[in-house]
Structure 1
Amino acid sequence: MSAQPTIVVDGLSIPLLGFGTWELSPPDARRMVAEALRIGYRHIDTAWIYKNEAAVGDGIRDAIEAGHVTRDDIWLTTKIWVAHFGHDALLAQARESATSLGFTPDLLLLHWPKAEPTFAETLGALNEAKDQGLTRSIGLSNFPSAEFKQAQGLSKAKLVTNQVEYHPYLANGPLLATARELGSSITAWSPLAQGKIADDPVINAIGKALGKSAGQVTLRWLIQQDVIAIPRTTKVSRAEESFDIFDFTLSDEEMARIHALARPDGRLGDWLDPAFKWDEAA
């Protein structure tokens, strides 16, 4: 891995800043993954449902062929879609994803919690995928604390992260505490609140004092909490800007001012099964 902040979970070193590919078309995914790896990103996130796994794999191969990285430099994450949570379907999709990527992923996540099939069946199959060498590690996405704890209780292997929406407008204290309790981590999707932080006066004031953009301040706020952040963009200049966050530190007072921006209506994407309930904001 390149010299940048990481979080170590279950003996695995995961770069705290990654590059996300949600809503990237295959051509954009291939182009931007290659560019991100050239810039210095060493963590790439995709999912089966994004329909760009093959393009992500092509982008990684482009970067390897250009001499920017080796496979061992990269942390690669993908996700099992909810329609594939049955035992056989999960293993089939894990094989499909590895084939599409052209690489064994470092991390395979369950994309959203689902009431049926049972957690026991799904977590059992996810562990089998790891045992069969279809992924190096396993984890979750969009699991509230109660289901996060339940899933870990059913999993032989450590669930190394829970990827959830997290940005300055959405408090996630309970989930962060649960991750610490379980020896796991939190990964933030939509870390820049889908661009809404760009015009925030508090974040911009902090950035102006530091010579940094609102996006850079927000990403720094996340990684200083040991939260993994996976911004995504179709613009090389924006990817370069987002990567330039390792030369400054936010003070405790600046961190607190950003935390204070959280609000009850801050959630941007809510596809949680009605069988489950998000944590109450602390």
Structure 2
Amino acid sequence: MAETILQERTTLANGVEMPVFGLGVWKSSNKEAAESVQAAIKHGYRMIDTAKQYGNEAGVGYGIQKALVDNHLNRKDLFVTTKIFNGDQGYLSTLQNFDEQLKRLRLTYVDLLLIHWPVEGKYLDTWTALEKLYHEGKVRAIGVSNFDEANLQDIQNLNRLMPQVNQMEFNPLVQEKHLFNKMNGLGIAMEAWGPLGGGEALNDATIKAIADKHGKTTAQTILRFDYQMGAITIPKSAHEERIVANAQIDDFTLTDEEMAQIQGMNKEKHSIWHEDFAWHKGSEETGVKDSVSYWDDTDEYLNKEVVY
């Protein structure tokens, strides 16, 4: 049987195999995350991406355990990613808080641990903590998220481990050309958050025309573009039918001309960047709010039992 996008793997610089396509759960409640995770795994997804900041690690953890039981899978069949919250950064704080993240996820290790944002004055100490967790076997791969070329150079200057992954906003409107080139030179895999590019990309006439030509949706066409550009992709959806449809991108290929048309949409303008956060503004009253999302179903999913 031919390999599907959900079965395809890429080999990271440290030799760990990582799926090239998975499920993201940003802005999902614990209930939504649990249900999305179960649906995704049922339909063949093997990679789940969450973060402490999303406030849904408890739901993700329940969803993983329930799906493992329901689908007769083992933990090693899945690739689970979470991230270090900005407010937890620093060496000791990272180590202490990561143990709590594992408990919420009901796991003894994660496959990939990322620094969520490069908090000034702290991200190198945080990276040192990630190296310790990696050497202890609590994580199989370590990486970063939202790190630009200068941030990556700071880690490179340590002359120790380099990130295996950098998760960045990546889609037709933000293609990270210079950063992508640097990462390729350092052996760092690009992983795309916000891979669909929001309403502007999804409603673009050029993409719609390409999608119609292939008998695909604009979302599927964008995800195929991301894939052909070499980005690991984790689209988010809380709807089972969209979770299934998002992965149906391995039965068509965009031509060089079509790729060039979509590449021409690049604006290199992030929807959010770390200078916008309150911790870069000097006051919690300004900038983007930087806190763990609160959902009133957290305690329910922390204590919810999986029936075996």
TM-score (norm 1): 0.91
Which residue of structure 2 lines up, in the alignment, with residue 210 of structure 1? 214
Percent of matched pairs sharing the same residue: 34
Cα drift, residue 270 of structure 1? 2.2
The reply on whether 1:94 has 2:98 as its aligned counterpart is yes
Secondary structure class of the residue paired with 1:106: strand
8 Å contact 1:19–1:43 — kept in the other structure? yes
**CA-to-partner distance for each residue in 1:4-40, whole Å, 9 max, x for gaps?**
3322112111111110011100000000001011111
Which residue of structure 1 lines up, in the alignment, with residue 163 of structure 2? 159
Cα drift, residue 72 of structure 1? 1.4
Which residue of structure 2 lines up, in the alignment, with residue 267 of structure 1? 270
Q: CA RMSD in A?
A: 1.9
**CA-to-partner distance for each residue in 1:101-140, whole Å, 9 max, x for gaps?**
1121101000000112362x22211111212222111100
Cα drift, residue 160 of structure 1? 1.0
Q: 1:69 to 1:221 in 2, by over 3 A?
A: farther
Which residue of structure 2 lines up, in the alignment, with residue 34 of structure 1? 38
Secondary structure class of the residue paired with 1:162: strand
**CA-to-partner distance for each residue in 1:166-205, whole Å, 9 max, x for gaps?**
1101131011111101111111111111343221111111
8 Å contact 1:123–1:155 — kept in the other structure? no
Secondary structure class of the residue paired with 1:226: coil
8 Å contact 2:155–2:162 — kept in the other structure? no
Q: How far apart are the structure 2 equivalents of 1:190 and 1:243?
A: 15
Q: How far apart are the structure 2 equivalents of 1:78 and 1:110?
A: 9
The reply on whether 1:114 has 2:119 as its aligned counterpart is yes
Which residue of structure 2 lines up, in the alignment, with residue 123 of structure 1? 127
The reply on whether 1:51 has 2:55 as its aligned counterpart is yes
Which residue of structure 2 lines up, in the alignment, with residue 231 of structure 1? 235
Secondary structure class of the residue paired with 2:142: strand
**CA-to-partner distance for each residue in 1:37-68, whole Å, 9 max, x for gaps?**
11111110000111111110111111111126
Structure 1 spans left out of the alignment, 5+ residues:
276-282
Cα drift, residue 237 of structure 1? 1.1
TM-score (norm 2): 0.84
**CA-to-partner distance for each residue in 1:230-250, whole Å, 9 max, x for gaps?**
110111111111011111111
The reply on whether 1:136 has 2:132 as its aligned counterpart is no
Structure 2 spans left out of the alignment, 5+ residues:
282-308
- 1:176 is aligned, of 176, 180, 191, to 180
Letter in 2 for 1:39: H
Q: How far apart are the structure 2 equivalents of 1:155 and 1:71?
A: 33
Q: 1:18 to 1:118 in 2, by over 3 A?
A: closer
Q: How far apart are the structure 2 equivalents of 1:219 and 1:69?
A: 27
Equivalent residue pairs, number? 273
